[in-house]
Each structure stands twice: as C-alpha cells, then as structure tokens.
Amino acid sequence: MHACMADWRGRHGQGGGIKASPGTPPQLKRAKQQPNPTAQTDMATYRWRGRLPHLHRLEYTKNQAFADSQIKEMRGLQLPLSQTQRIRLQRAFEKLQSLSSKVNSDASVTVADTIPVNYEDAFLKGHGTTDLNGELVATVCGVVERINKLVYVRGLRARYKPEVGDIVVGRCSEAVEINFSQDAILMLSSMNMPDGIQRRRTALDELNMRGIFEENDVVCAEVRNFQHDGSLQLQARSQKYGKLEKGQLLIIDPYLVKKSKLHFHHLEQFGIDLILGRNGFIWVGEHVETRDSMVVDQANSFQQSMVLEEKDLAHTPLEMRQNICRIANAVRVLSTLGFSIDADLIMETVELSSSLKIDIHDMLGSEFHVLVAEREAERRSLMGKRRR
Amino acid sequence: MEFVSPEGLRLDGRRPLEMRQLRAEIGTVAKANGSAVLEMGNTKVIAAVYGPREVQNRSQIINDQALVRCEYSMANFSTGDRMRKPKGDRRSTEISLVIRQTMEACILTHLMPRSQIDIFVQVLQADGGTRSACINAATLALADAGIPMRDIVTSCSAGYLNSTPLLDLNYIEDSAGGPDVTVGILPKLDKVTLLQMDAKLPVDIFENVMGLAIEGCKAVVNYIREDHQFKH
C-alpha cells in the first residue's frame, strides 16, 4: 500500500507583478526623547516570498576580519524589483557565493537527521543534538559544526544565545527585553548612578529608580552571568553602559552581529555613536560624552554636569538627525541583504549613499539594495584577488 | 452518492491512494520568529510561531519547561459560506488543543524553561484536512524558528467510502458522513502523537485506513526533507 505523490514544486518569486503586501514598518523603535521628523515612518518593505532559510549557502571565509557571513538567498528580500534589478541582484549574489569557500552540503541537517559521526572517537554532544537509540540526531535545522571533539548544530534562525561578557542593548519593560527566551534582569546595584558616585544603594534609590529608567527606555549593558534557572543577569558598570538617549533602536537578526573586540563605535565625522548589541539590537545615536568618573574632580564635574543638562534639553540639530537616519538605513539595507554587520561596512555603505547623492528614504528602495549587493560582491572579489 | 467511480477515480480525479498536491513556503510572516504557509490541494493554512519569549501571564510560568500555547482560527472567508465566529467556537477550541498537544510532544521544552512558545495557525482556505494541514504548517514554522524538536511531526487524514480506503479527504468526501481518520506521527521515532476518528469503523478496516494515513504522513515527510535539500 503506497501513496502516490503529486509533484512537489517549491514556489518561486514570480516575475513581473510583485505581491505588494503593505509591509510592517521595519523594526523601527526610537527613544522617547527623539521625535525624528526626517525619518520615514512608513517604510514599507515588500517581502519577496523566500525559500527555506537553512538552505542558504553558508560562507566561511578564512579571513576572520570579515567573520562569517551568511547570504540570505532572497529570503525575506521583499522589494519591488524590476526585471533588470532582479537580474543584477541575482548576479551579485551568485558572485558572492562563488567567492565563498564551498561549504560541505552534507553538513546541513534538518530536524531528526542523523549526524554523521565516527562513533569510536569520543565526542561531546553540543547544542542542537540529542541522543536517539545510540545515534546522534539533530534537533534544529542548521549546519553541523565540529570543533575539536565538540559536535553541535548551529541553527540559522535561532534567537540570540547569550554568552557572559556579551554586550547587549535592550528595552525596559518589567525586566529588560533582549530578544532572548526570557527577559533579562538588570539590578540597580550593578549599575552606575547617574552622578557617578559609588555608594551603597538604599531603599530610597529603589523608589527613585523611575527617575533613572522608565518603561520603554533603551539600555545598554553587559551580560554578567546566568542564574541557575536560566535567566540572565546584566550589569552596566561603567559610564559607557546605561541608558541610551537621542537615537534610534534597530532590530535585526542576531546572527548578523558577530563577536568582535569592539562593539561601541564612535563615528567621528558624524559625531554619532553606534552600538552593536550581540542580541541583534543596534543603537544609533548622538554621541554622548563619556568620561571616567574617577578622573574628574568635584568642581569640574559640577560644571560639566550643568553643561550636559543644557545639552540634554537642547534640540538635536537637523543634520545630526539626518546622519542618524542615514546610518540607520544603511544598517537596515545590510540586514535585509543578509550581510553581517560591522562598523566598516556600515561606513562604506553610508559613503556610497552620500557619494551617489541618494536621498535618505531612497536608501530603502530597491535600487540602493542592488547597488550595495553589487558593491559588496566587487569588494569581496577584490579581497580574494589580493589574497592570492 | 458515488465517491469512487467504477474506473477507480474520485470526485476530483484522484486515485484512492493519491494525496493532494503539497506546497509549502517558509518565512512568510516577517514579524514572527518562524512562519510557514502550507497548501494541501485547496486547503491553505498559515502558521506563525513566536518564541521562546517571556511568559506573558505570570501565573502560568512552568519552572522547568517552556509553555506551549496554540491558537487555531479559520478566516471568515475560508469556507463556502462566510463564517460567523472564526475562533472561540467549540471546534476551534478542540483543534487548538489537539495541535498544542501534538506539538508539545515533539518540542524539547525542557531546554527553554520559564519561557513561552506561541503557535498561531489560521486557515485561509478550507477544503478538508485542515487539522492535518495545520499540524504540518506548525512543524515547518517551528523548524523555521529554530526551536529544538525531537522530530518533525506530520499529519494526514484518510477515510473509507464506497468500501474503499481513501487518502487525504477533501471537503465533499469529508462531509459524506463516512469515517475520517486523522493521524499524526513522528516519523523517525516511529511514534504516533495524534489519532482521531469520527464515525464508526470495524477494527480490521480501521487498521487498513490508519496504515494508509501513516503512509500519507511519510509522504509529507519526504516532501519536507526533499524541499530542504533542494537549494544547497
């Protein structure tokens, strides 16, 4: 007794007419103090019905400076592309894929696939695997990775997996929401007081906490440790952490932000701070003077704090806001195309856009996406040639 | 009424042991952590998975496991006559419960304690076998979301009309009043997670029909795996 199957055909993004569903405005969240008139609130991203996510070719470039980057082959790339644009985009992606070192396609697994392992060697079972009747079986869809004796499956679309020492950006609700399976906890005692003085936190501080943090504020912190029940504790112990103001919060996929030495970037020419949270929350905001509280003496600090207060109340100039928007859009474009985010790439994209005199809201249009993809393909091929 | 013609063709031209055409797409709902649209013939279903995330209702936190919630609803326009109450009616509540239990059996909930996984399934077009389509779509959405699972759950239905076991009933065959057996399996573990039947069947024929439905489930698994292997 057998069932016959009719033919299975995966669906292709159809040419010509685009299924323009008025998309959700892409994860655009702003800090409270910043009503930004130049930002487009209605950035509709048209989504192109994509293919299964874990089918994307994974790139492992030997050069760690570029880290791992994963090309989303048209997954979630919903743009109203004309025919020529689509061809150019495809060509750029193909070029990028051909440049990457080939990944063994056997390494990709789906749920409940057996992982090929030499059972005689001692090996450690890592994330995403489980033991089934003596066989090693995958529990998520992804790619099998082996490091020394550890075998694990790296899922492509999983939520953020925090590690101690990671820098994350989060939004305050009852605890801090950081795109993890639970909200993280930021204790008052693990934070610097706004006046920089180190003292014991009293009950009065607890009551006054609302003066420092309110609901929906954005904070930047570091992962301190895991509790035994799996929840996360954060700390914000130096001046560079803490509440973030005057800027935009962007949400992208966590795997696009790789672990690097530097997560705080100060873009001098724009006077803008860029914080790449490992959980996929990116903060783009006006630069805030952070100074070491130890160095500053009393008289000075009083004066400076006065100046700061005035600055706080001061209106952010239009040009600053435009710069913030431009950078934020660059990040959005890169994340839509599936390139991993780092500061250099963002700067290049921003320069590209300003050199071509593209309007800020045009940056989210399809033409710019295609341009960025092409340029990235060129850049990688140049890197490849230079290496040889 | 004749559901199987003398030549052996059903009302829609299929053979008794033939399934309807399957089509699936993943990643269709941008906001969700995982999503899938699945079509089995004319039945079209969309599933969205959110999670694992913080439990919204504090009283429901389970300290050592994830909480799995499921909601099944039918769009107003999904059936021939416009539906009055898309969710909250008894059938929807029952199917929500069934899907939740099925998915909970395969998700490794102990890996995500104190969190919540939401599965929302909505039927866009109903032409019989909505339960099965929902379970298949939910599986794909969970895989898309990267939630660790023991195995892929697939489901298929089968019936018995005109003394012939029929695979994958559509709406007309379903409303004929004959038995309708829905089976959900974990193919790798070779276990049954869902078994439902309405109407009556003698036991030996029931074995046949259930075996047929299991074959249908395996066909769905093949489709899913094949589609996964597709674009490397």
pLDDT digits (tens, 9 = 90+) for B20-69: 999 998 888 878 888 999 999 999 999 999 978 888 888 888 888 899 99
State whether A111 and B22 contact (CB < 8 Å): no
Task: Give yes or no for a contact between A68 and A352, defined as CB atoms under 8 angstroms apart.
Answer: no
- Give me the pLDDT at residue A159, please: 66
- Give me the pLDDT at residue A297, please: 43
Three-state DSSP class for residue B136: helix
User: Taking all residues of chain A, what is their mean pLDDT, rounded to a whole number?
Assistant: 64
Task: Give yes or no for a contact between B185 and B214, defined as CB atoms under 8 angstroms apart.
Answer: yes
User: In chain A, which stretches have pLDDT less than 50?
Assistant: 1-76, 102-106, 291-313
Task: Give yes or no for a contact between B230 and A10, defined as CB atoms under 8 angstroms apart.
Answer: yes
Q: How many CB atoms lie within 10 A of CB A168?
A: 28
Q: How many CB atoms lie within 10 A of CB A157?
A: 22
The angle that helices A343-355 and A318-337 make with each other, rounded to 10 degrees, is 110
- Closest residue in chain A to residue B231, using alpha carbons only: A55
Q: Is the sign of the CA dihedral A123, A124, A125, A127 positive or negative?
A: negative
The angle that helices A366-387 and A318-337 make with each other, rounded to 10 degrees, is 70
State whether A139 and B150 contact (CB < 8 Å): yes
B54-112: pLDDT as tens digits: 888 888 888 888 999 999 999 999 988 887 877 788 999 999 999 999 999 999 998 88
State whether A4 and B19 contact (CB < 8 Å): yes
Three-state DSSP class for residue A347: helix
User: Which residues of chain B does A8 touch, with a Cβ-Cβ cutoff of 8 Å?
Assistant: 21-23, 223, 226-227
Comparing CB atoms, the residue among A57, A111, A159 nearest residue B143 is A111
A114-157: pLDDT as tens digits: 777 776 777 777 777 887 777 788 888 777 777 877 887 777 66
Cα distance between residue B162 and residue B165, in whole Å: 8
Which of A58, A73, A139, A177 is the mutation pick for testing B, counting most B CBs within 10 A? A139
Which of A55, A181, A253 is the mutation pick for testing B, counting most B CBs within 10 A? A181
Local structure of residue A249 (DSSP, 8 states): E
Tell me if chain B has a CB within 8 Å of the CB of A76: yes
> Would the ipTM clear 0.90, i.e. be above it?
no
Comparing CB atoms, the residue among A76, A110, A137 nearest residue B30 is A76
A324-334: pLDDT as tens digits: 888 888 888 78
Q: How far is A234 from chain B (nearest CA, A)?
A: 16
Phi-psi region of A372 (alpha: psi -120 to 50; beta: other; left: phi over 0): alpha
Q: Indicate the pTM of the whole model.
A: 0.74
- Closest residue in chain A to residue B220, using alpha carbons only: A5
